[in-house]
Structure 1
Amino acid sequence: MDKKLDNLFDDQFTRLVTTLTSQGRLDAISKEFAEKKSDEERMSFILGLDAVQQHVVVPELQETKSSEVASRFRTEGNQLFCQKKYEASVACYTRSVLHAPHYHHQPSDCPDSELALAYANRSAALFHLEQWLDCLADIGHALHCSYPRRLGYKLYTRKGQCLTRLGRYEDAVKSFRSSKEAISDAGLDSRRRTTLTQQLDGFIEKGLEAAKCTELLGNVGADPFFSVCSDRLQPELAKDCRNGIFPSLSASCDVTFSPDRGRYLVAKRDILPGEVVLVEKPYSSILLPDNYAHYCHYCYKFCYSLAPCPKCTEALYCSDACRMASLKSYHGYECGLLGVLQRSGVGKFGHLALRTILQVSCVDVIRYRNMLTRGEFNSITTPLLQGCDLDGLYLPTNYRTIHCLITHSDDRAVSDLFRRSVMADFLLKCAKEVRYFDDCSESPNDDVLPFVGGLLLSHLQSFPCNAHEIAEFELDKENLVESAPRELGAAIYSTLSLFNHSCDPAVNRNFYGDVCVVRAIKTIRRSDEISDNYGAVYAVHPREQRRRLLESQYYFRCNCEPCRCDWPLYPCIEDVRPTWRCTGCRASMSDDDSGLLTCERCPCRKSTSERLSTLVSSQEKYEAAFEKLMTCDVDRSLAGLLEYLRVLDNNICLPWREYNNCQEAVKQCFSVMSNCHVIKK
């Protein structure tokens, strides 16, 4: 790994500013730059600065495969394997897989056996970790990569043992028989060959007996806990249940606009807790570098048996399908560039901005520029519909929805815009280095480069305010309460970006791969806003801290109900004497000595004992559901938790601690149902 890449952009920018300062040019350049009104004008100015072109340079990209490096990591993995440190050995074998020279077309083209040996050794470690499916995958990889014939019997034996553990006895018998056949190529002495043959005959006999028993009695089934984190079906919105203009949204939602709040979502009807309000694939997404070694670069699935990009030493994939899709989409350009992007200091938003552009062909970018020049979108005058196509649809696959996201250019300091513009120039040079512009019929001239640079600059401003993290739930099945999400990647979602913030949000986000599913976590009344959360929650963060965070990153001062009323932090939330809610007008009710509740807004009066009875009855069901959740029985707990939320919504005014508890339990259920990985202690 080239240490010269670490913080490369930051170092280049520092040297640029130092040079301009020493030349006495910084103030004049800043003043002239401040006069530029559009991102394209800013980039045209940056591209014309000799000092920028001198200091901002993209280094050599490709870090080549190396048998020597692969062998070194494999040897390190072998040492850890002998110490029974199987998880650590898998990590080393994966690095060996990454660096091993890769066959290009057929297994016989493999330059050496390093790749096959790395796969085979990793399969042995995975066998000890009882990762049967991943072990089988690696055995398949090794055999496909011309694993030495003299060692093949070991893989077939291991394959048979994995299949036996999975209850696939007939397939296991076939593998054991293949191992017997392969022994003849092993060059073993007769004594060793006889011992192995007898051992395999025993495996075959037991496998045949087990297969007969399975046929008679049926399979006993998998570990019931396995279903908790197996691939669950991603929720979908039926075509007739989608919003007519914003198809990622449910028909229960509408988008509206006001000058002071911009675009935001409201409910067209009452929405109950648990209802899906959005399902959206991002326009573009990235996996964060810390996750490269364990997650598929394309679908973000956790996988031990990842296979590498055939050229670079960064990207790994869970399947050939993901590898091919990645190469056809963005990795064909990014291959060899990932090392620069992850270590140069451009950060996740810089990488995401570049990938967003690379996913639009240069031909389509020029076509889009020409449409803007001709004013083809001028007919879309209302702010509500900005980003819609000419048919009036706000499609998540349409680049224009991303380009039209707010950038807050007017709120930014000149120094902030200047740094982002120089970063856009760095990313533009990356695009040139990977021959992005070669697809254009016209060469990148004085018009194309400032335009594409302007698009990059726009994204570098809008993404910090609009992009979302892709999360995965790290589940400790022995301690669900302490289980928590971790960040896998970052993505830009055009419709999800339209949700405004509340410190008491109405919805919760979960991810299936990089697809975002948004569900209601409270009852949302007709015409009420459907609010998301930008990372500042009233029960966790004091009001002033929340407001500082939101103002610094999102450029607004929060005035949601928890901020207006300064709701308490979780430890101080009331949990003894609730404030009752009127079921008619939804105002609060006061409790008098006569045992009656009186609405503070309308004439409604209710019996305190009746309301308590309703609450206690529902609370008992909630506690039973909560106990099921503690054993990760999501399917049997979720309905009871959602029902209790509905009862609390109808009867209790917030804040109320048990409401927070129930809401968090519902969120844990949704987390287990989506991207979820069981961690081992």
Structure 2
Amino acid sequence: MPIEAQLETVKSNASPKANPEARALREEGNELFADGKYANAMKKFNDSLRLAENGSEEVGLAYANRSSCFLHMKLLDERMVDLKLAKKSNYPTHFMPKLEKRIAQCTVLLKNKQLKSKFEVHEPTLSFVEHTKFAGVTDCLDIWTDDEYGRHVITTRDLEVGQTILVEKAFSMVPTKRMNMGRDRCVNCFREFKIFITCENCINSRFCYDGCMEQSNHSLNCNLPTPQAQPQLSQLVLEILFKANEAFPDVDILMKTVDTLLNGEEAIGLTNVIQREFRFILQLTSNHGKRSDAQIDQLRNV
């Protein structure tokens, strides 16, 4: 039986969305906004979106109110998207002229570039062409094995200070409690201050508007019961299993690939990005055969 069908048997069908709670959160956000606490107000509007019933006016109102936070945070592109989402989300008809006026004003600001964003995030990029085998690694790196060092990484060219040769991305990840304390993050990429959309079937997940829901495995774990013991570890194990299942639909191929890579041999036929990420993490496992646990801990702390 496919994993999708098996998971459906343990999922909860209860819909916890409720407009009264969503409205109360939105009103709390309005009070924070009036006090100039825009980041805190945005969190309330995001929480309101999570609880707003699908197709209700509360969805459109939350988007519209959140767009005002983006304006004061000088995130005009995000403001425009929220205004358009509000317009498409059953926004109250009697407020529509006000919404249209905001869209027109935002269009002028975007055209004239009158506001500069306060939030400019630097995204590191590779200094050279990406490796054909390993995702996020330049083509000047390779994995060697010899008697002195065991398995290790080398470079095939001279490198200069400041050049980026690896952009590390976790194969699977879940947020810690500390990361979530008072913060709004996408459950797929963990970024903040983004245009968040929420799942229509649960209240626990928010995603970046530009594709994070589609990139995640949320369709598999939506409304799954959360284990009481070590919930974060359990969630991480599920994420790894879901991602491996997506990359290797045949479990026999997955097992053969793991054995091949752990033996230091070349796995043939791994072509998609997830398979390349999977290959990389296994081929860079710590070489305990050549170094003691104390030496490895020392390297980690350098």
TM-score calculated relative to the size of structure 2: 0.73
Task: Describe how 1:570-581 pairs up with structure 2 within 5 A.
Answer: none
Give 1:354's aligned residue: 238
Give 1:67's aligned residue: 19
Give 2:60's aligned residue: 116
| Amino acid in the other structure paired with 2:267 | D
> Alignment partner of 2:165: what SS?
strand
Give 1:297's aligned residue: 187
- Decide whether the 8 Å contact of 2:26 with 2:62 is kept in 1: yes
- Decide whether the 8 Å contact of 1:78 with 1:89 is kept in 2: yes
Task: Describe how 1:62-211 pairs up with structure 2 within 5 A.
Answer: 64-102=16-54, 110=55, 112-168=56-112
Q: Shift in Å at residue 559 of structure 1?
A: 9.0
- Decide whether the 8 Å contact of 2:141 with 2:153 is kept in 1: yes
Give 1:383's aligned residue: 263
The structure with the larger Rg is 1
Q: Shift in Å at residue 376 of structure 1?
A: 8.7
- Decide whether the 8 Å contact of 2:247 with 2:272 is kept in 1: no
Task: Describe how 1:208-219 pairs up with structure 2 within 5 A.
Answer: none
Give 1:462's aligned residue: none
Q: Shift in Å at residue 94 of structure 1?
A: 1.0
Q: Shift in Å at residue 350 of structure 1?
A: 3.4
| Amino acid in the other structure paired with 1:368 | V
- Superimposed CA distance per residue, residues 451-504 of structure 1 (whole angstroms, 9 cap, x where no aligned partner): xxxxxxxxxxxxxxxxxxxxxxxxxxxxxxxxxxxxxxxxxx617844779xxx
- Partners in 1 of 2:168 and 2:126 — Cα distance? 10
> Taking structure 1 as reference, are residues 383 and 160 closer, same or farther at Cα in structure 2, changes over 3 Å only?
same
Question: Larger strand proportion, structure 1 or 2?
Answer: 1
1:264 aligns with 2:152: yes
> Taking structure 1 as reference, are residues 287 and 381 closer, same or farther at Cα in structure 2, changes over 3 Å only?
closer
> Alignment partner of 2:166: what SS?
strand
**208, 228, 238: which one pairs with 1:318?**
208
- Partners in 2 of 1:60 and 1:260 — Cα distance? 55
Give 2:120's aligned residue: 229
- Superimposed CA distance per residue, residues 526-576 of structure 1 (whole angstroms, 9 cap, x where no aligned partner): xxxxxxxxxxxxxxxxxxxxxxxx98xxx3335979x9xxx9xxxxxxxxx
> Taking structure 1 as reference, are residues 140 and 273 closer, same or farther at Cα in structure 2, changes over 3 Å only?
same
> Taking structure 1 as reference, are residues 100 and 228 closer, same or farther at Cα in structure 2, changes over 3 Å only?
closer
- Decide whether the 8 Å contact of 1:287 with 1:300 is kept in 2: yes
- Decide whether the 8 Å contact of 1:253 with 1:265 is kept in 2: yes
Q: Shift in Å at residue 264 of structure 1?
A: 1.9
Residue segments in structure 1 that go unaligned for 5+ positions in a row:
1-57, 103-109, 169-218, 403-492, 502-549, 568-681
Give 1:556's aligned residue: 294
- Decide whether the 8 Å contact of 2:261 with 2:282 is kept in 1: no
- Decide whether the 8 Å contact of 2:22 with 2:48 is kept in 1: yes
Give 1:253's aligned residue: 141
Q: Shift in Å at residue 310 of structure 1?
A: 1.4
Cα RMSD, aligned residues only: 4.3
| Amino acid in the other structure paired with 1:116 | G
- Partners in 1 of 2:284 and 2:169 — Cα distance? 12
Q: Shift in Å at residue 276 of structure 1?
A: 2.9
**397, 405, 411: which one pairs with 2:274?**
397
1:369 aligns with 2:259: no
- Decide whether the 8 Å contact of 2:145 with 2:151 is kept in 1: yes
Give 2:220's aligned residue: 333
Residue segments in structure 2 that go unaligned for 5+ positions in a row:
1-9
> Taking structure 1 as reference, are residues 336 and 249 closer, same or farther at Cα in structure 2, changes over 3 Å only?
same
> Taking structure 1 as reference, are residues 390 and 92 closer, same or farther at Cα in structure 2, changes over 3 Å only?
same
- Superimposed CA distance per residue, residues 176-227 of structure 1 (whole angstroms, 9 cap, x where no aligned partner): xxxxxxxxxxxxxxxxxxxxxxxxxxxxxxxxxxxxxxxxxxx7x875xx59
1:345 aligns with 2:230: yes
1:273 aligns with 2:167: no
Give 2:5's aligned residue: none
> Taking structure 1 as reference, are residues 278 and 377 closer, same or farther at Cα in structure 2, changes over 3 Å only?
closer
**238, 241, 250: which one pairs with 2:129?**
238
The alignment of Structure 1 onto Structure 2 pairs a total of residues equal to: 288
| Amino acid in the other structure paired with 1:351 | Q
Q: Shift in Å at residue 137 of structure 1?
A: 2.0
- Decide whether the 8 Å contact of 2:133 with 2:276 is kept in 1: no
> Taking structure 1 as reference, are residues 384 and 283 closer, same or farther at Cα in structure 2, changes over 3 Å only?
same
> Alignment partner of 1:118: what SS?
helix
- Partners in 1 of 2:174 and 2:87 — Cα distance? 31
TM-score calculated relative to the size of structure 1: 0.36
- Partners in 1 of 2:34 and 2:257 — Cα distance? 67
- Decide whether the 8 Å contact of 2:262 with 2:282 is kept in 1: no
> Taking structure 1 as reference, are residues 227 and 233 closer, same or farther at Cα in structure 2, changes over 3 Å only?
farther
Q: Shift in Å at residue 308 of structure 1?
A: 0.9
| Amino acid in the other structure paired with 1:298 | N
Q: Shift in Å at residue 353 of structure 1?
A: 2.0
Q: Percent identity?
A: 21
